[in-house]
Structure 1
Amino acid sequence: MDPLKTLLQLHLASDTSAVLHVSYILSSLTPNCFLPSPHIQKWTTRVGSLMHSKDPGARWAGLCIAQKTAVLSKAIMIDCAQSWLSVALPMLSRSEPAPTLKAAMRLLIQIFNGATDVPEFQRQVSTPNVPKFSAALISLAEKNGDREVKLVSISTLSRLIPLYPTLHRSLHTALQSLSLKFLNGSAPKPSDTDLVYAASQLYTVLHLTGGKVGAANLWRKSLDETVAFSRSAFFNLRTTFPVEGRNSGSSTEDPVVWIPLNTDRLRCGVIIICDLLRSATHRPIQLPVGLLVRLTMELLSATAEEQVDGHIDPGVHAMEVAALPYIWQSGCDLLICLAKSARHHLTPAQTRILSYLIYHLEQPLIASQRLPFIRATHALLTYCQPPHAGLLPTRLAKALLTSLTGLLSTQSDAQPTDAAAGGKSGKGKKRARGYEGDEVFKTTRAVICAGEVEGEVVVAALEALQLVLRCPHLTPAVHSITSRVLLSLLLALPQMLPAALAPNPQVYGRVLAKVHEMSVELAVGTTSAMSKSLGLVIQLGGGVEGGERTFLSAKEVQRNLDLLLHPRVPPLLRSLPHVEALSLFRAEESHDEFAVRESLGLGAAEAHPAAPVQPGALHAPSAIATPDLPEAPPAKTLFTMDAPPDTSSKVSAPEPKVAQATLLAPTPTLPPHPAQLPTPPPPASKTPLANEASLQTTVVAAMDEDEDEAEEMPAIDMDSDSD
C-alpha cells in the first residue's frame, strides 16, 4: 500500500489529527515515498490546505511537513515553491507564534538553498524573493522579543548571504548594524553566548557582499576594526596597570558597569577575530600576523604584579585583578585559532608566546584557569614548529607534570603516620587490625578529579606532554622523570576504580588510553626494544576499559604493528640490558633527576629506612612495641606524592620505633606479585644490626595477637641448679 495514501487517510484526515501526529508523519517520510504516484498531487494539496488553515497549530504542521517534503524531493519542491513562498513569506510580517515563525524560516531557506543549480528557478523564484526574505529576517531579529526567533533568524541570514551575496549588497549597512547590536557587549549581565556566536557568524560573512574583488578589502577592514575594538576593551581593563600603547587618560565611567562591559566586549571581539580567521574568501588575502600576535601577547602577558605610579582606587584595582582570568581565557582562545590559521608563520614569535604560557602554568592556578593555557600550549605545539630553545621544553614538561602527579597515591594513603602508630602503644588498648581489601569499605576517600574541569585538565596535560616528549631539546633528566611518571600511571590506573578518578567514567577511559599510547610511543625504537612491549601494543589495538571503550584509529594501530613486522632499521648486535639495570629507583637516579623529582614533590614508593636503634634496646623485649598494621595501600607505583607533614602531633625521637619503616616491604619469604614493582633494597649505610632489627620487627607485625597478651616474661636464671 502506498505510504502517502495511509498517511492521508489516517493521519491527515483533519487538522487536529495532523497536529497530533506530525512527529510520526515526519519520521515516516522517506525518499521512496515521493516516487511517481497518483497520491503526490493529493499530498501537495493537503499540505497547502494545512498551511492556509486558520488554526495556528495546523499552519505549523503544514510548514513542517512542507519542509520535510522539500528536503526529500527536489522535484516537488521546485513545483510547489512559488505557492509555498506566497504563504510562508507573509507569515514573517504577521504576529505568529514562535514555532510557526521558525518553521516558516526553515522552509524558506530550504527552498532558496535546494535549487541553486537550476538557473530558471533562480531567475523566477530566488532573485525576486531573497531580498524580501532577508528584510523580513532583519525585522524579526530586531523587533521580535523571543530569543529562539532571534537566533534562528540570524543563523538563517548567515546561511543565505554566502548563497546570494550580490542580492544583499544593498542590505550591507542594515546587516552590519544588526550584527554589531549583539556584539557590543552588555553589563552587568554578559551577552547571551548563543546570540553572540550567531551574530559573529553573520558579521564574518558580510565581506562577501563586496564581490570577488572587494571581499578581501572588506575582510581586512573588518579585522582591523575588530582588533582595535578588542585592544580598546583590554586597555580599559588595565587602567591601574602599566600597559604599553595605552592612552594616559582615565575613564570617568562607573567601574561597576565599565569593567564587566569591557570584559564582555573583549570576549565578543576575540570571537569575531576567530570567526574571521575561519571564514572563506574568493581570493587569497594577506594575514596580518604581526597585528594578531601583538594582541595575543598583550592578553597573555597580563598579570597582577605591577601597578602604575601614583594614587589608584583600590576598588577598581581589585575588580581589574578579578577580570584577569577572562583576559587569559580570551588570549588562549585567540592563540588557538591563530595557531590553526597561521601555523608556521608564528615561528618568529613562538618562543616568546611559549614562555608566557609556561610562566602561567608554573603558577598555582585553579583547574578552570589552568585548562586554557594547557589547550593553547597543545595547539601551539601541534600546528607550529617544535620549539628550538633548549630551556623551554624542560620547563614546560615540569609544569605539565604538576597536573599529573595528583593521580599518584600520596604517602599518607600508603602508610600510617608516626603519630597514629605511636598513640596506640599503651597496654590495655586493642591494636587496630588491618585486613586486605579494607579500602573498598572506605567512604571518605576523595575523588581525584571531583569536577569535569579537573578531568579535562588531566587529559589535556597528557596530550600536551606527548608533544613535549617529541622535542629533541628536552633534557635527559626531565625525560627520564617523565617516563617514570608515565610508567607509574600505567601501573596504577588499571588497579584504580574509574569512580575513584572522576565521576564521569569516560575520563578514566580517555586517561588510560592516552597513557597507553604515550607508553607505546616511548617504547617504539628498534625491533628488539619494541618487541618487549608487544602486549601493550596488542592491548592498544583492542581499546582500553572505561565508561566507553576508547579505540585508537586504525591508522595508528596499523603503524605500530607494521613497525613490529617490518622494522626500518637492523636489530641490535648486542642484547638489551636486563630490567634490573634500568634506573627505576631513586637509589640509582642521577643528581639532576633527584633535583627534578624533589621540585615536583615526588617520592619513591618504598618504605622509609628504619630509625637508628640503640644496641642495648634490641635485647629488651619490652622496648620493641607491637606495631599497627597499615591499611591496605593503593596500587604501588614507582612514585608517590609526598604528603605535607602533619605538624599537629609531635612524636618524641628517643624511643626506638623500628617497626614503622618496613611494614610496606614484602616479607623475604614471599615472592612479589608480578603486577607490582619490586621494593628497592635498603640503603647501603644501614648496619647489619639495624637490618636484623627491621626483619625481626616485620615478623612481629605479622603476628595476629593483641597487646594485652604481650606481657613481659619473668627473667630465668640460667645458672640455677634447679631442673
Structure 2
Amino acid sequence: MDGHPLKALLQLQLGSDSYAVLHLPYILASLTAESLLPSAHSSKWIARINSLLHSKASDARWAGLCLAHKTSVLSKSTMIECAQSWIGLALPLLAKKESPPILSASVRLLRVIFSAATDVPEFQRQVATPNVSKFTAALIPLAEKHADNELKILILSTLALIIPLYPTLHRTSHSALSTLSLSFLNGNPFKPPNTQLSSTASRLYAVLHFTGGKVGAANLWRKAVDDTLAFGWTSFSALRSTFLVEGRAPQVSAGAEEPLVTIPLNVDRLRCCIIVLCDLLKTTTHRPVQVPLGPLVKFAVALLSSTTDERVDRHIDPGVRAMEAAVTPQIWKLACDLLTRLATCVGHHLSSSLSRIATCIAFHLEQHLTSSERLPFLNTLQVLLTKCHPLHSTLVVNRLARAVLPLISVVLAKEGDARETDTTGRSKKSKKRAREFEGDEVFKVSREVICSTVNEGDALLAAFSVLRLILRNPHLAPAMQSISCRVTLSVLLALPQLSPASLSCDSKLHPLLLERVQELSIEVGAGSTGGMSKSLGLVMGASLQGSHFHRDLEMLLHPRLPPLVRSMPHIESLSLFRAEESQEEIDARQSLGLVPSEIEPEPDVESASSDVIMADPPTLPTPPTTNKIQPVLTSVEPAAALQTARPPQRTEQAPQPLNDEKIESIPSPHPRKAVDDMPPPADIPSFVEEQETNEEMPAIDLGSDSDSD
C-alpha cells in the first residue's frame, strides 16, 4: 500500500478548492522536505497547485500561492522547474486590485524565487534577470498607494533583500527607491511612530548605495551619511529654538509653524535620522570607505550635551520652552543609540573623543534622573569602555566612579529599612533608644521594593558592569578604588540576606545581581595570587552559583600565570576599618553619602567595636546558618585578620571610637567564641585592642651574650 504523504493530501485535504482553503494550515504544517522529494506524486502535486493558481475564486488563488511558496522553500528543484510559470501567474497580480492576503502571498512567492537560486547561473540568466526589474517596478507604486502597513513592511523588506543581489538591475531605479524609503522617514506628528515601518525603510535606504557598483558605492554611501547628518542637524535645531545650539542661539523664522506640530514632527524626524545613521554604519560595502568620524561625533555630542537649564539672552515663549525641555530625555536616548552603534562600528578609533563623551555622561549621571532616563547612559558607557582604549584622564575616571557608586549603594540603603526610624522626629541630643522588637519588620505593611520597575533593575545591573570596567582602569585614584571595592564587598554581604521579593518584583533579578557582584568581587581579589588564595571562600561560594568556576580554579591551581595587566588593589591594601582610612577616603565617602554627615561627640563604648567595611549595625545579628552565605563571610575573615595584625600607624594616642550610627546595613562577620570568662569581642572597644598591640618593646641588653652559656 502506497502511504506517501502527498497522496493522502491530494485525496483528502486537496480534493476540492473549498477543502484546500479550509485545510490549508494543516497542509502547510504537514509538508516536509522529504515529502517533496521526486516521486510519482510530484507531478500531481504541481498540477494541483497550478489549478488553484488559475482558479477564479480569490480564496483558492490565495491557497495556491501559499502552497507554491511552501513548496519553493522546501524543494529547490521543484521551484526551479516551476518558477517560470509561477512568475507568470503571480507577477500580474501585483498590478491588479487584489486583497492584501493575495498581494502578500504573491510578494512572498516571488521573493523566494528571485533569492533562493542565486547560485544557479543559468536560472539567473533565463528567469531571474528578465523579471527582477518588472518585480521592482510593480512593488514601488504598490508600497506608495496601498494603505496596509504590514504589506508595506513586506514590500520594503523584500526590496532591501533583492537590491544587494541584483544591484546593477536597480541602477535606474535608484532615485525612485530613495524617494520611496525617505517618504517613510520624514516624520509624522499626528500618529505614534511605527517603529517597524521606519526601521524597514531605513534598511532599504542603507542598501541603495549598492546600485552604484563597486566603484560608485563608496561615494553613494558617503553622500547618504552627509545628507542624513544635515537632515538631523535641521531637526535638532528646530527642537532647540529656545536653547543654544553649538554655542549660539538658533535662527527662528517669523512665520514659524505651530509648536504643537513642529516639536513632535522634529522629534520623529530626529528618531528616523538616528535609525538611518545606525543602519548605514551597519551595512556592508564592496570596498573600504572612510567613516566621517568627526562630524558624527560632533553631532552625537551636541545631542548628548543638551540640557534643560540653558539661558538665552532674548525673549522666549515659556510654553515652547516647556515643550522643548520635555523632549530632552528623548534626545539623550537617541544620542546614546548613535554612540553605541558608532563605538561598535569603529571601535578604538573613537578613543580620542572618549574623554569628552564620558564627561557628558558623567554629568548626566550626577543629576536626579529616573531609571528609564539613566539606563541608556549606563548601557552606552559600558559599550564605550569596552570597545575603546582605557580612559587616560584621571579626573574623568574618578568622576565616573563617583557618579556610579551612589547607584549601586541603593541596595545597602534599603537593606535596613526596618531600623530607619532611629532619629526621625527626635532630637539628636536625646539619649533615648528607639524600642524595636524582633520580627517587627514582618508586620510592616508599607514595605518598599528596591527596584520597583524593570528599568531600575536593568540600571542596577548596568551600574555594576560599568563599575567593573572602571576598576580595570589604571588611572583610578587609590581612594576611589578602595571605596569602590568596599562598597562592592558590602553589597556582596548584604545581598544573600536580602529576600528576592524585597529587591525586585522580578525573581530573576536577585540571582543575576548576586552572580554579577560575585564576579566583580573575585576580579578585585584576583589582583595577586596571594590575594586570591585569601578569597578562597568567595571563589567557592561563587562556584556553587556556576560563575566561571573553571577559570577561577585554573588561576588557583596554576599561580605561575602571568600577572594581570591592570592596577588592582591587593586585599591587604583595602581599608577595612574606619580608623585606617586616609583623609582623602573620608572626604570622598562623605561626599558620596556613605557616611553620616554629623557624628555625635560622645558615642557609646559598644559602638567602638572593630567593624569590617564600614560599621556594625546597632544590634549584632546572630551568625547566619545558610550554606549560601557561609562562603561569602569566610572570605572576609583572612583580610580582617591581616588588618588587625598590621603594625600600628600611630602609637601616641588611640583612634577615636566610632559613632553609633551605621552607614550601610551590612551584617558583621561571625563573632569569635568567648574564651573562659572573657566578654565577647563585640563588647571590647577597638582602641583597647590597639593599646594592647602597641605595648613598648623590652630593652635589649647589648652586653649579654647567649653563646657564652
**CA–CA separation in structure 1 for the residues paired with 2:30 and 2:129:** 34
Deviation readout 1:486-509 (Å, 9 max, x if unpaired) = 112222223333232222233333
Give the partner amino acid of 2:104.
K
CA shift in 2, pair 1:228/1:534, >3 Å: same
Which position in structure 1 is the counterpart of 2:350? Answer: 346
Which position in structure 2 is the counterpart of 1:656? Answer: none
Which position in structure 2 is the counterpart of 1:527? Answer: 529
CA shift in 2, pair 1:580/1:197, >3 Å: closer
Helix, strand or coil at the partner of 1:203: helix
CA shift in 2, pair 1:587/1:103, >3 Å: farther
CA shift in 2, pair 1:518/1:157, >3 Å: same
CA shift in 2, pair 1:239/1:120, >3 Å: same
**CA–CA separation in structure 1 for the residues paired with 2:142 and 2:196:** 17
**CA–CA separation in structure 2 for the residues paired with 1:92 and 1:368:** 44
CA shift in 2, pair 1:534/1:184, >3 Å: same
Deviation readout 1:612-660 (Å, 9 max, x if unpaired) = 79xxxxxxxxxxxxxxxxxxxxxx99569xxxxxxxxxxxxxxxxxxxx
Give 1:336 shift: 0.9
Give 1:541 shift: 5.2
Q: Check if 1:434 corresponds to 2:437.
A: yes
Give the partner amino acid of 2:557.
L
Deviation readout 1:107-148 (Å, 9 max, x if unpaired) = 111111111111111111111111111122212211111111
Deviation readout 1:202-223 (Å, 9 max, x if unpaired) = 1111111111111111111111
Residues 140, 177 of structure 2: 8 Å contact kept: yes
Q: Check if 1:404 corresponds to 2:408.
A: yes
Unaligned runs of 5+ in 2: 428-433, 564-568, 606-610, 645-653, 660-678, 684-709
**CA–CA separation in structure 2 for the residues paired with 1:565 and 1:585:** 31
Q: Check if 1:282 corresponds to 2:291.
A: no
Which position in structure 1 is the counterpart of 2:228? Answer: 226
Which position in structure 1 is the counterpart of 2:374? Answer: 370
**CA–CA separation in structure 1 for the residues paired with 2:508 and 2:349:** 36
CA shift in 2, pair 1:258/1:121, >3 Å: same
Which position in structure 1 is the counterpart of 2:299? Answer: 295
Deviation readout 1:321-371 (Å, 9 max, x if unpaired) = 122112211211111111112222222222111111111111111111111
* Aligned with residue 584 of structure 1, among 576, 587, 592: 576
Deviation readout 1:452-476 (Å, 9 max, x if unpaired) = 2111111211221111111000111
- The farther-off stretch of 293-302 and 87-96 is 87-96
Residues 526, 570 of structure 1: 8 Å contact kept: no
Which position in structure 2 is the counterpart of 1:28? Answer: 30
Helix, strand or coil at the partner of 2:580: coil
Which position in structure 2 is the counterpart of 1:162? Answer: 164
Give 1:247 shift: 8.0
Which position in structure 2 is the counterpart of 1:596? Answer: 588
Aligned residues: 621
* Aligned with residue 151 of structure 1, among 126, 150, 153: 153
Which position in structure 1 is the counterpart of 2:330? Answer: 326
Residues 482, 574 of structure 2: 8 Å contact kept: no
Residues 325, 369 of structure 1: 8 Å contact kept: yes
Which position in structure 2 is the counterpart of 1:122? Answer: 124
Give the partner amino acid of 2:197.
L
Which position in structure 2 is the counterpart of 1:652? Answer: none
| Alignment TM-score, normalising by the size of structure 1 | 0.79
Which position in structure 1 is the counterpart of 2:361? Answer: 357
CA shift in 2, pair 1:176/1:271, >3 Å: same
Give the partner amino acid of 2:378.
I
Give the partner amino acid of 2:589.
R
Give the partner amino acid of 2:619.
L
Q: Check if 1:204 corresponds to 2:187.
A: no
**CA–CA separation in structure 2 for the residues paired with 1:578 and 1:8:** 76
**CA–CA separation in structure 1 for the residues paired with 2:424 and 2:293:** 61
**CA–CA separation in structure 1 for the residues paired with 2:248 and 2:20:** 64
Give 1:265 shift: 1.2
CA shift in 2, pair 1:257/1:32, >3 Å: same
Give 1:198 shift: 0.8
Give 1:296 shift: 1.3
Give the partner amino acid of 2:243.
F
**CA–CA separation in structure 2 for the residues paired with 1:38 and 1:516:** 64
CA shift in 2, pair 1:62/1:492, >3 Å: farther
Which position in structure 2 is the counterpart of 1:60? Answer: 62
Q: Map residues 383-532 of structure 1 onto 2, 5 A cutoff.
A: 383-410=387-414, 413-415=417-419, 417-418=421-422, 434-436=437-439, 439-440=441-442, 442-532=444-534
Give 1:403 shift: 1.7
Give the partner amino acid of 2:581.
E
| Alignment TM-score, normalising by the size of structure 2 | 0.80
CA shift in 2, pair 1:21/1:593, >3 Å: farther
Which position in structure 1 is the counterpart of 2:95? Answer: 93
- The farther-off stretch of 307-316 and 242-251 is 242-251
Higher relative contact order (CA 8 A, sep 6+): 1
Unaligned runs of 5+ in 1: 424-430, 545-551, 572-576, 614-635, 641-660, 688-694, 700-723
Give the partner amino acid of 1:114.
A
Deviation readout 1:135-174 (Å, 9 max, x if unpaired) = 2221221111111111111111111111111111111111
- Of all paired residues, the percent bearing the same amino acid is 52
CA shift in 2, pair 1:403/1:271, >3 Å: same
Give the partner amino acid of 1:149.
L
Which position in structure 2 is the counterpart of 1:259? Answer: 263
Task: Give the superposed CA RMSD.
Answer: 3.4
